[in-house]
Structure 1
Amino acid sequence: MALKPSPVRRSAANITGLVFGLLWIFPVYWLVNNSLVTDDALQSRTPSFLPLDFTWAHYETVLHDSRFWSALRMSFGVALIVVVAALLFAFFASMALSRFRFKGRKIVIISVLVIQMIPAEAMFISQYKMIDSWHLLNSMLGLSLLYVGASVPFTIWMLKGFVDGVPVELEESAMIDGCSRMGAFFRVTFPLLGSGLVASGIFAFLAAWNEYTLALVLLSSDNSKTLPLWIQGFSGQNQATDWGGIMAGSTLMALPVIILFVIVQKKMAQGLVAGAVKG
């Protein structure tokens, strides 16, 4: 019979969890708080932990900026392309690596791991030249292609753990009942990978949504910037840094991520736990 933890140990664990939770949420609160106060309050040497000098001025500045809406469309478009393409490629690749035994399979698996170890900055010059030769600079498609290439290796590795956890006997039973190999994949295995697909899709979305350095290299036009590059515009070399605009813009940029996480948090938690156990 398992021993119950003592009240002291349970209280210590609760307090520790509370402290770490507050440490995690405080930067988010500070971001929102500073987006709702005046410029004078932001520049004051005495920090204000409550928005006493409340104002919507920074959000009005952001929402009336046409570049914000252009950057929002760019970021959403790139993230959507990356999620769909990465999951599509990763699903078939993970099925092949998990279900089939072919020559060079181990080399492919090791290559997937090695690719993730290469610093992204080491490939910027070659990536820029490649996209330039295709005439895709300052375009959603050009940036999306590189983001998909960067996301697919991790997504393959993550999804492979979920596919390994699905008994192959289920597919064999479906094929005995008349399903083709592809039909068994989509009718039996695919529905069981829901949590894994959600978790992998969230990681791919966050990677594309928050990425800054590669976008900085490829996108120079004001009409083709993503949200991180647009926020950088509040801190120009020839102007004072608009901290209120940065805070308001960063809050609006974080809002879709928070909403998405609230919607899929149950599936994502199930996927992460399942992946840890099955992988």
Structure 2
Amino acid sequence: MATATAQRPTKRRTEVRSHDGSIVPVRRARINVSKGLLSTLCLFLAIAWAFPVYWMMNSSLLSSATLESRTPTFFPIGGSLRAYERVLNPAFYSALGLSVTVTLLSVAVCLTFAFLASIAISRFKFRGRVSFIVTILLIQMLPAEGLFIAQYKMMASLGLLSNALGLSILYVAAVVPFTIWMLRGFVAGVPAELEEAAMIDGLSRTQAFVRITFPLLAPGLVASGVFAFLQCWNEFTVALVIMENNKTLPLWLRTFVQQSNTQAIDWSQVMAASTIVAIPVIVFFVIVQGRMTSGLVSGAVKG
């Protein structure tokens, strides 16, 4: 009679040896591998995103003959700043001054109106509140191209064609609805109990808002300001319709590709001009990116 041999159950492996010889749990090793793959993927995406910017800056330092050759040049060896010298002319400084004026004025007015409106619809109950919110959403659905004729006639009747004030009014009207909706989420995310606690300690409603709530809304204001800044700085179509004589930077950039049929486009100048237009956006983002975060009040109120 054959004796049955009981099979011993195999023990699952719970530890592995890492590359440096230390013993780590299998679960932690899997997490490390997943993080490594995710980091590699993020690095690849970052390179893919940054390459067009690098290619623009690289091309601005090369000659037109080098850019038109079949062999791509990935490094600006032997490059020069001649394209920048030709681009930085009085027309550029005029367009720069107009763009800065229109953008700063539009952003300041837009944030002021959007901030007050977001506080009203988030903190107070009033008749027509829901209708106002729905109207904001419906305005976002209107195509900008369908408003060009009406905007042109309105600015012409007011004498604001080719005027920084007229263009700023149109930019504010275009940007403020989404900015209100964006800021509304930040204001609603700040618990009203913080203001109530400050009022119990002896502050008035205005003092409680200025000292407690307003500093916590700084990330929302910065994020909304960045959105408004980018929209106004890079806008092209409305400026093309309204600005007949003066040019903003996007319109100025367009002049480099409006050459006659007998004149070739100088792509080194196009890339140099594009780099110059992009620099203020990069500088602005570097300055404010430290404030673009949310969740400063998470856990401030429990229960």
1:43 aligns with 2:65: no
Match of 2:254?
Answer: 232
Structure 1 10/188 Cα, relative in aligned 2: closer, same or farther at 3 Å?
Answer: closer
Match of 2:6?
Answer: none
Q: Distance in 1 between matches of 2:154 and 2:68?
A: 44
Structure 2: 5+ residue stretches without partners: 1-26, 299-303
Q: Distance in 2 between matches of 1:183 and 1:269?
A: 25
SS of residue in 2 equivalent to 1:6: helix
Q: Distance in 1 between matches of 2:267 and 2:37?
A: 39
Q: Deviations over 1:120-145 (max 9, x none)?
A: 11111111111111100001100000
24-33 or 238-247, larger mean C-alpha shift: 238-247
Match of 2:168?
Answer: 144
Q: Which of the residues 117, 126, 132 maps onto 2:150?
A: 126
Q: Distance in 2 between matches of 1:187 and 1:205?
A: 27
Higher helix fraction (1 or 2): 1
Match of 1:277?
Answer: none
Match of 2:82?
Answer: 57
1:194 CA drift (Å) = 0.7
80-89 or 236-245, larger mean C-alpha shift: 236-245
Q: Distance in 1 between matches of 2:203 and 2:297?
A: 30
Q: Which of the residues 224, 233, 245 maps onto 1:209?
A: 233
SS of residue in 2 equivalent to 1:55: coil
**Quick check: 1:171–1:188 contact (8 Å CA) kept in 2?**
yes
Aligned ranges for residues 81-92 of structure 1 at < 5 Å?
81-92=105-116
Match of 2:57?
Answer: 32
Q: Distance in 1 between matches of 2:295 and 2:270?
A: 34
Write the letter of the residue equivalent to 1:205. Answer: F
1:261 CA drift (Å) = 1.1
Q: Deviations over 1:143-189 (max 9, x none)?
A: 00000111111111111111111111222334445544444332332
Q: Which of the residues 192, 196, 211 maps onto 2:220?
A: 196
- The number of residue pairs the alignment matches comes to 270
Normalized against structure 1, the TM-score is what?
0.91
Structure whose CA Rg is larger: 2
Match of 2:39?
Answer: 14
**Quick check: 2:216–2:297 contact (8 Å CA) kept in 1?**
no
Q: Deviations over 1:200-241 (max 9, x none)?
A: 0011000000000111011121xx211000010111142432
Write the letter of the residue equivalent to 1:102. Answer: F
Normalized against structure 2, the TM-score is what?
0.84
Write the letter of the residue equivalent to 1:240. Answer: A
Structure 1: 5+ residue stretches without partners: 275-279
Q: Deviations over 1:34-90 (max 9, x none)?
A: 000011111112111111240111000111x10000011111111101111011001
Structure number with higher relative contact order (C-alpha < 8 Å, ≥ 6 residues apart): 1
Q: Distance in 1 between matches of 2:30 and 2:251?
A: 50
**Quick check: 1:78–1:143 contact (8 Å CA) kept in 2?**
yes
